[in-house]
A and B are shown apart, each in its own frame.
Chain A
């Protein structure tokens, strides 16, 4: 009698376990599969330009003629070079602005600040990575753009410079946290050895800590770059979205992301964004 009951219970438990096991396995497989599915989808949709409409990859990447027709017959031009260079220029420039400041902040945070100050600054910097991009864009729009228009010879204020500055502020916390982590991970024994040989703080930072941390710093830079390249909203709100090459710091331009965001049928048009989006942005906070 007892044996039967025990066997029944065991079978029940076994069945429950296989059930939860298979559910979990299914979720795991789905999670791993999702990026592949997205990639496949993008690949199909994205290669339509080349298969269905007969354009070449060289034309897409390097031609400056962007006049795709609105119809299914095609016959237009799809030179995206303006947007590609717009993305590259704004992102590269944002790195130029952000990197020195990030490195200095990271060095201060890991080598010079007292433990009490460190405990205060770290969470603040990390918190900045979570701020929605619309806030950056909104502040850029309402504060930075008019300010730039005042002090520089630019017609609109909406410009490559504005976009680069906004992006620089956005990627600064990304680079700083990774660089500071990398520097803090350098073993104390190396610092001690350097000081023991008579080096001062700057020599130690330059010769021991920065070289040892360079991979982490590099990772931070690349992550920052990835974030900058993918940013659509904040850039769209301050770059002016003119379909032209980024020939001047002080003139508007477009990036790959702003073109997608704008022309996919969304409501963003430079200047009008502030009115309806202000209250929305407050709600986001």
Chain B
């Protein structure tokens, strides 16, 4: 595994610090000795063929793997300096680290109630406050104008692309500092994909984004850093441009040139 970039990173810019992470599903080891850093206000892309562990790593960053029975983790992940397995309450972690999934899955509730779900879970009940947060999040997701007149209608009536942007607004409403995206555009048409990529580039000004993607062009379009995974190992991680134009590992080069994947 080779890693290049700045030698030392000041703690304020280091959002995630993954140290010697091993992950087991039962007897099968899905992640092997992962060491990785995610910097603030950057888009970090995780790429690699199916089953390489990139989604697994993503889900470990907000401890969603806790819900998978038989999942065992060894090693450390520091979020803003704190060990997420020992020093942080998982629920509080998820308030700060939000996730957007591959399938757009709004709740069968109104658009307003969907976006207000996160704040309500965090204990906000004041109607005016909720309305403010909902509007702010929908604006940030670039979908306020389309939806402002039907906040009380069911979210299931929206198109796929709209639903995914709604899910992004829902994640934003919880006021996280990090957004994890697990192949957010693979179920969408090219126009919606474009909108969401533009959205990610906008959002990175205020948030840190880690995106798992199957689509190398997407990674090279929007990310600042890219990490290539293969069979549970982090093979190479670098500035996106460097990784795609001048990879150091032969496996990386094979994947990028399409020899497998």
Contact = CB atoms under 8 A, between A and B. Distances in A.
Interface in B28-78: 62, 64, 67, 69
A190 B95 CA distance: 17
Contacts of A211: 108-109
Given A197-B94, A198-B174, A189 B105 contact: yes
Contacts of A195: 64, 67, 94
Nearest to A188: B105
A3 interface: no
A193 B170 contact: yes
Contacts of A189: 101, 103, 105
Most chain B beta-carbon contacts within 10 A, residue among A199, A211, A212: A199
B105 A192 contact: yes
Nearest to A189: B105
A25 B170 CA distance: 55
Main secondary structure of the interface of A (DSSP, over half): helix
A211 B154 CA distance: 14
A42 to B, nearest CB: 41
A200 B89 CA distance: 11
Nearest to B106: A193
B101 A200 contact: no
Nearest to A212: B108
A208 B167 CA distance: 15
Interface residues of A, number: 19
Contact of B94 (A114, A198, A207, A212): A198
Contacts of B118: 197-198
A197 B174 contact: yes
B116 to A, nearest CB: 11
Nearest to B69: A114
A194 interface: yes
A265 interface: no
A189 B108 CA distance: 12
A196 interface: yes
B232 to A, nearest CB: 22
Contacts of B121: 197-199, 203
Given A190-B107, A193-B167, 12 more contacts: A192-B64, A193-B101, A195-B67, A197-B98, A197-B117, A197-B121, A197-B171, A198-B92, A198-B174, A203-B121, A211-B109, A212-B107
19 contacts: A114-B69, A189-B101, A190-B108, A192-B101, A192-B105, A193-B105, A193-B170, A194-B107, A195-B94, A196-B94, A197-B94, A197-B170, A197-B174, A198-B95, A199-B91, A199-B117, A200-B91, A207-B117, A211-B108
Interface of B: 62, 64, 67, 69, 91-95, 98-99, 101, 103, 105, 107-109, 117-118, 121-122, 167, 170-171, 174
Interface of A: 114-115, 187, 189-190, 192-200, 203, 207-208, 211-212
